[in-house]
Structure 1
């Protein structure tokens, strides 16, 4: 019984032997693990599906450049490969598409009908190749980074120059805009809440230490708390509006633990607004320590219950779309943040960070 021939695309391509030749010989090429067994009547149809688009693209190049040699140079393939592709195309179609002479190449009537389609295929092939090439170029477009304005100015700003120095091939486009955090027009976002859906990946960068503080004028007016329960008689300014109407503040001192239920006077998820309210003397603020550092150093703010520790006011996450999980630029940037954000928390905070945008007012921690 005659064996069904095996389709060996890789081997046939390397050897330059057409599958139809195997079929005409009445035999079958030896099969291997890479072979796909097909009925004889489907062989030519499959080969047409595989090779015809490439043949059409080569035909268009030959016509556009008026020669097989020029087309071969443009495609970076041997001239014989281009000639073979056009010849195989004519054989498959059963008509001649080119009239060849020693001086010129002209389309036949069938070729004139075929050429517009061949050219479109060639253009789409070039476009696809260019699109893939852009993906492989790290410099193709900047890595878009968006961050909460307060954390971005104080923590991210000093790290950007260091990242660009270490990874000169990865340009950055940084936006300190809270609105863009929800619009999704970013590659990496730095925010204080993890994602709520499965299309975004996250990496915990760190949790800035927090403390309780107030202005000297407020404490003189309302009194200095001596123990956690004393906070019940004070106006609390908290960063987590989701916990209203009642906020349970946890405090620890060594092995001691206190949990005080409070009703905050102000709850806002913007640390800059919370800091401004505390600096204005509206109450006792639960703030990231790095925002209070300058105010504590100058005496414009005073610590409250300094012997007790409170949980971090927020945790910082680096978010990025799941589709970019394998993007080396994203991983390089996120790894850099994870290694440097926590040490950055110990750096001195400038009194007036440089403005990010002409329409954005400077934020000066006190």
Structure 2
């Protein structure tokens, strides 16, 4: 259906002239005249009686004009609705996030977000399994991942660089010989993250000072009697004196500051894909 031509026709009738319609629409008078001609050809009807001094609607033109007005009103309503949707988000926003990100980062932000956008309903799935965002109908996913691990077709934005650290409780460390070298880790039970490269493997490298060249890495296969796919879960288990764990730095920050956890081999940095 020639909607553009119908809009032009409605404006011609409104202004009772091609020139007036052309001025409002930002077209030339000849372009407006041709548009009305195309509409008449499309319907096979004469819509306007033209003289050198005036325009008047034919009987068919009057009926078509009423239909055009309704279409113009509907189009304007759609345009207004689109403008409102651009300015005021609304509807259901489905988010997936690992439990540690959801608990520490996402949950504290939600009340402020909903206060700012009251027409948006937020549904959060906190899970440490790898979720297929498309298959499960999710709008947004927070992920702890390495470059190149995002599925094709998804748009990704980096938010923060995360380091993983070796930690234990001060009490556990006090009961055992001081750990000064990576090889001493072999004598201790580990709690594994259960995903990424770290299943039962730890790779460490001495932290560099200034512009010193990178030292060779030390790779160890450690004893992992417990596997928990959550940094927060590992921290809770560690606080029961369960050994040593690898956790995300931001997840351990509060416990480290409170003295509930202590770093292990602070002069060494974990490397690899965790």
The two structures share one fold, judged by TM-score above 0.5: yes
Per-residue Cα deviation, 1:146-177 (whole angstroms, up to 9, x for no partner): 454533554568999xx9xxxx9xx9987764
SS at match of 1:213: strand
Q: Distance in 2 between matches of 1:307 and 1:77?
A: 71
CA distance in 2, matches of 1:152, 1:94: 63
The match for 1:252 among 196, 205, 216 is: 205
1:237-316 to 2 correspondence within 5 Å? 237-243=191-197, 247-253=200-206, 255=215, 257-311=217-271, 314=274
- Find the partner of 1:192 among 144, 150, 160: 144
Matches within 5 A, 1:1-366: 52-59=2-9, 61=10, 67-69=13-15, 76-77=24-25, 85-86=35-36, 89-90=39-40, 93-97=43-47, 107-108=59-60, 112=63, 118=68, 122=72, 125-126=75-76, 129=79, 133=83, 137=86, 139-141=87-89, 146=95, 147-151=97-101, 154=104, 177-178=125-126, 182=133, 183-186=136-139, 189-193=141-145, 195-220=149-174, 224-243=178-197, 247-253=200-206, 255=215, 257-311=217-271, 314=274
- Which ranges of structure 2 fall in alignment gaps of 5 or more residues? 208-214
CA distance in 2, matches of 1:242, 1:212: 16
Question: In structure 1, what is the Cα distance between the partners aligned to 2:66 and 2:227?
Answer: 66
Q: Which runs of 5+ in 1 are unaligned?
A: 1-48, 315-366
User: Contact conserved, 1:97 with 1:111, CA < 8 A, in 2?
Assistant: yes
Shift of 1:191: 1.2
CA contact (8 A) 2:166 2:245 kept: yes
Contact persistence 2:150–2:156 (CA under 8 A)? no
Give 1:11's aligned residue: none
Q: 1:9-38: per-residue Cα shift (whole Å, max 9, x none)?
A: xxxxxxxxxxxxxxxxxxxxxxxxxxxxxx
Asked whether the 8 Å contact 1:249–1:259 carries over to 2, the reply is yes
Residue 278 of structure 1 deviates from its aligned partner by 1.9
Q: Secondary structure at the match of 1:309?
A: strand
How far has the Cα of 1:249 moved from its partner?
0.5
Change (3 A) 1:263 1:99: farther
2:211 maps to: none
1:91 CA drift (Å): 5.5
In the alignment, is the contact (CA less than 8 A) between 1:214 and 1:278 conserved in 2? yes
Q: In structure 2, the residue corresponding to 1:260 is in which secondary structure?
A: strand
Residues in 2 aligned to 1:240 and 1:208: alpha-carbon distance in whole angstroms: 17
* Residue aligning to 1:40: none
- Cα 1:264–1:106 shift into 2, 3 Å: farther
Q: State the secondary structure of the residue aligned to 1:293.
A: helix
